[in-house]
Structure 1
Amino acid sequence: MNSYILRRVLQAVPLLFFISIVSFALIKLSPGDPVLSFVTPNMDPEDVERIRKSLGLNEPVYVQYFIWLKNVLMGDFGYSLVNHRPVLTLIAERIPATIGLMGSALVLSLIVAIPLSLYAGSRKNSAVDRILSLFSYIGISIPAFWFGILLIFWFSFKMHWLPSMGMRTVGINSAWDIMKHGILPVIVLSFINISMYMRYIRSSTISELEEDYVQIQYAYGSTKNTILWRHVFRNVLLPVVTILGMSLPDLIAGAFITESVFSWPGMGSLGITAVTGLDYPVIMGITMLTSVMLVIGNLVADILYGVVDPRIKTAG
Structure 2
Amino acid sequence: MRQLIVRRLLQTVPLLIFVSIACFAMIKLAPGDPVLSFVTPNMHAEDIERIRHNLGLDKPGYVQYFIWIKETLSGNLGYSLINHKPVLGQIMERLPATAGLMGASIGLAVLLAIPLGLVAGANRNRWIDKLINLFSYIGISVPLFWLAILLMYFFSIKLQWLPSMGMRTIGVNSTIDVIKHGILPCTVLAFGFLAIYVRYIRSSTIGQLKEDYVQIQYAFGSTKRTILFRHVLKHVLLPVITLLGLSLAELVAGAIVTETVFSWPGIGSLGMTAVKGMDYPVIMGITLFSSVMLIVGNLLADILYGITDPRIKTTR
> What TM-score, normalized by structure 2, do the two folds share?
0.96
Specify the alignment match of 2:313 in structure 1.
Answer: 313
1:18–1:10: structure 2 CA closer, same or farther, 3 Å change rule?
same
Amino acid in structure 2 at the alignment position of 1:9: L
Do 1:189 and 1:251's aligned partners in 2 also have CA atoms closer than 8 Å?
no
Specify the alignment match of 1:272 in structure 2.
Answer: 272
**Structure 1 residue 192 displacement after superposition:** 1.0
Specify the alignment match of 1:48 in structure 2.
Answer: 48
Gap runs ≥5 in structure 2: none
Once superposed, which parts of structure 1, at least 4 consecutive aligned residues long, lie more than 2 Å away? 242-254, 313-316
Partner secondary structure for residue 71 of structure 2? helix
Partner secondary structure for residue 78 of structure 2? coil
Show the 5 A alignment for 1:169-208: 169-208=169-208
**Structure 1 residue 246 displacement after superposition:** 4.4
RMSD (Å) for aligned C-alpha atoms: 1.6
Per-residue deviation, residues 101-131 of structure 1 (Å, max 9, x unmatched): 1111111011000011112222222221111
Equivalent-residue separation in structure 2 for 1:6 and 1:180 (angstroms): 43
Q: Say whether 1:211 aligns with 2:184.
A: no
Aligned length in residues = 316
Specify the alignment match of 1:37 in structure 2.
Answer: 37
Do 1:144 and 1:254's aligned partners in 2 also have CA atoms closer than 8 Å?
no
**Structure 1 residue 215 displacement after superposition:** 1.5
**Structure 1 residue 291 displacement after superposition:** 0.9
Amino acid in structure 2 at the alignment position of 1:75: G
Specify the alignment match of 1:127 in structure 2.
Answer: 127
**Structure 1 residue 303 displacement after superposition:** 1.2
**Structure 1 residue 243 displacement after superposition:** 3.0
Equivalent-residue separation in structure 2 for 1:34 and 1:172 (angstroms): 37
Q: Percent identity?
A: 65
Specify the alignment match of 1:141 in structure 2.
Answer: 141
Specify the alignment match of 1:282 in structure 2.
Answer: 282
Equivalent-residue separation in structure 2 for 1:185 and 1:252 (angstroms): 16
Per-residue deviation, residues 248-286 of structure 1 (Å, max 9, x unmatched): 567767611210111100001001111111111111111
Do 2:247 and 2:294's aligned partners in 1 also have CA atoms closer than 8 Å?
no
Show the 5 A alignment for 1:26-105: 26-105=26-105
Equivalent-residue separation in structure 1 for 2:141 and 2:20 (angstroms): 32
**Structure 1 residue 208 displacement after superposition:** 1.3
**Structure 1 residue 247 displacement after superposition:** 5.0
Specify the alignment match of 1:227 in structure 2.
Answer: 227
Partner secondary structure for residue 152 of structure 1? helix
1:218–1:243: structure 2 CA closer, same or farther, 3 Å change rule?
same
Do 2:253 and 2:290's aligned partners in 1 also have CA atoms closer than 8 Å?
no
Specify the alignment match of 2:238 in structure 1.
Answer: 238
Deviates more, 1:133-142 or 1:246-255: 246-255
> What TM-score, normalized by structure 1, do the two folds share?
0.96
Amino acid in structure 2 at the alignment position of 1:6: V
Do 1:307 and 1:313's aligned partners in 2 also have CA atoms closer than 8 Å?
no
Do 1:24 and 1:284's aligned partners in 2 also have CA atoms closer than 8 Å?
yes
Partner secondary structure for residue 310 of structure 1? coil
Per-residue deviation, residues 195-231 of structure 1 (Å, max 9, x unmatched): 1111111121122112221121111121211111111
Partner secondary structure for residue 91 of structure 1? helix
Amino acid in structure 2 at the alignment position of 1:299: L
